[in-house]
Amino acid sequence: MIYEYVRQRYSFLAKQSSQYLWELGTAYLRGKGVTDELSRGMGFYFLELGIKTRHTEMTQSINKEDCL
């Protein structure tokens, strides 16, 4: 339940920049306490989403250069 809430709450970051997702992912991975497992899961989720977003950004940039 918390996992889904966080995904919905921060999903807008995917539209902003891969850098935001990377920062959020690393922040979750550094979290310690009772919710270690949840923090790691969320960290990996946001890092993976950041990588996918960055890949899309790079692909679009390359495609634009090819059109010139």
In a domain, residue 2? The reply is no
Domain that holds residue 45: 19-67
9-53 tens-digit pLDDT? 776 766 677 788 888 888 877 877 667 777 788 888 888 888 888
DSSP string covering 3-62, please? Answer: HHHHHHHHGGGGGT-HHHHHHHHHHHHH--STTHHHHHHHHHHHHHHHHHHHHHHHHHHH
In a domain, residue 54? The reply is yes
Residue with tokens 């899309």: 56
In a domain, residue 61? The reply is yes
Backbone angles phi, psi at 32, to 5 degrees: -130, 155
As for how many domains the chain has, the answer is: 1
Predicted pLDDT of residue 1: 53
In a domain, residue 14? The reply is no
Name the pTM for this structure.
Answer: 0.65
Residue with tokens 């935001």: 20
